[in-house]
Amino acid sequence: MFNVSAHGAKIPAIGFGTFRMPGADVLRMVPAALKLGYRHIDTAQIYGNEAEVGEAIKNSGVSRGDIFLTTKVWVDKYKHDDFIKSVDDSLSKLKTDYVDLLLLHWPKSDVPLAERIGALNEVRDAGKVRNIGVSNFSSALMAESVKLSKAPIVTNQVEYHPYLDQSTVLKAARDSGMSITAYYAMADGKIIGDPVIKAIAAAHGKSEAQVVLRWLIQQEGVITLSKTVSEERAKSNFEIFDFELTNEEMQALHALAKPDGRIVNPGHLAPKWD
């Protein structure tokens, strides 16, 4: 395991995600993931499982200070007062007095971006949040956020897998000292059985999932999330630090990108993508 550094934040390169994970699975899987060595846990207000994430961390036997915890403010809480209250609610559910990273979940909203970024800075100044970031932002919105923010924006969490070219967003992040956190790394399971990925996996004695996760964290400034309700799969997904892909293999994976590779694109929430 290693950390990705962005504006002083040290973010573990692989995080355990809890999207669409029911409470019972969270209570089982988060302690299991922490036992395996994961130290980065990702949740969100809209996932409806912050309380279980908090309980799982509290009962895991791993010190809170050793865990990098991320949550996200949902779009219906972007007005200043709603925002502040929602963060307090999240902290209460998560059974902690701070989160390591707080993100704006999606960009589209009637609430001005300046108000949202201002609220992010306010909770950071209050010590409720160690670092701030965004999610599903285009490169133009990233630049606007950086300009509006007093504190550094440390990450943009976006869909990223071999079928989606994110080079524009990656360049924008690197140019401003930000990291990129990749979600949907498995492209909703589409990577399994892909002949190119399968061949690379065979060459390393690894699975297709391990190859894709390795491809992500081997890129400069990229963090990846891995989500599973299988303890065996969680173990396998973590075993990506004992091999390295060649430059040719990295390029072969980049070359899989397609013009229609994006999977997550809710019109009422999404920006004009790069």
Radius of gyration of the chain (CA): 18
Structural domains for the chain: 3-189+219-242 (3.20.20.100)
Q: What is the DSSP string of 227-270?
A: --S-HHHHHHHH--SS----HHHHHHHHTT--TT------TTT-
pLDDT on residue 1:
83
pLDDT on residue 223:
98
- Tokens describing residue 138: 């285009």
Global pTM value: 0.97
pLDDT at 220 over 90: yes
Establish whether 98 is a catalytic residue.
no
- Residues 25-48 pLDDT 10s: 999 999 999 999 999 999 999 999
Active-site residue identified among 47, 160, 163, 184:
47
- Residues 183-204 pLDDT 10s: 999 999 999 999 999 999 999 9
pLDDT at 224 over 90: yes
